[in-house]
Amino acid sequence: LDRLDVECTQYTPAPELLRANHDEAPVNETLVSHLLKSNCLVTGQPDWGSVQIQYSGAQIEQEGLLQYLVSFRNHNEFHEQCVERIFMDIWTRCRPIKLAVYARYTRRGGLDINPFRTSHPGALPANVRTARQ
C-alpha cells in the first residue's frame, strides 16, 4: 500500500475512508503497510507499526485503506485497541467474508507487542520479527 500516491488530510481515525467494490467478483488479498502510527494512551509517545490485512470478499479500495491507516497518526490508544478498531471498521464498512488484521509494532521499553484479530480460525501468521522491530 505504501507506494500509492495518495493525499492524506485526516489524522484521527476516519472509517468513512474505507470502501469496497461489491459489484465485482470477490478476491483473496493480503495488503501491507509500514505507515501505521498511533500514540501511547498513557505516555503520548509515538507507536510505529507494520500492519497486514488479509481478507476474502469484495475488493477493498486501496487508496482509502491507506488513508484510513494514516488517519491514526494523532490517535491515542493501546496497540491492541488500534488493531481491534481497524478490524471492526473494515468488517463493518467493507463487509468481507473473512478478515485478519495483524500489526507488528516497533519495540518500546523492550516489549514486543504484535496484536492479531481474525474472523476465522487457522489464520495465525508466523511470529517472525521484522527488520523494523
Catalytic residue among 8, 23, 40, 82: 40
Mark whether 40 is an active-site residue.
Answer: yes
A 10 A CB-CB count for 24 gives 9
Cell output for 108: 518500546
Residues in the chain: 133
Catalytic residue among 5, 47, 94, 112: 47
Mark whether 2 is an active-site residue.
Answer: no
Instruction: Measure CA 69 to chain center.
Output: 6
Cell output for 88: 471492526
| Residues designated catalytic | 40, 47
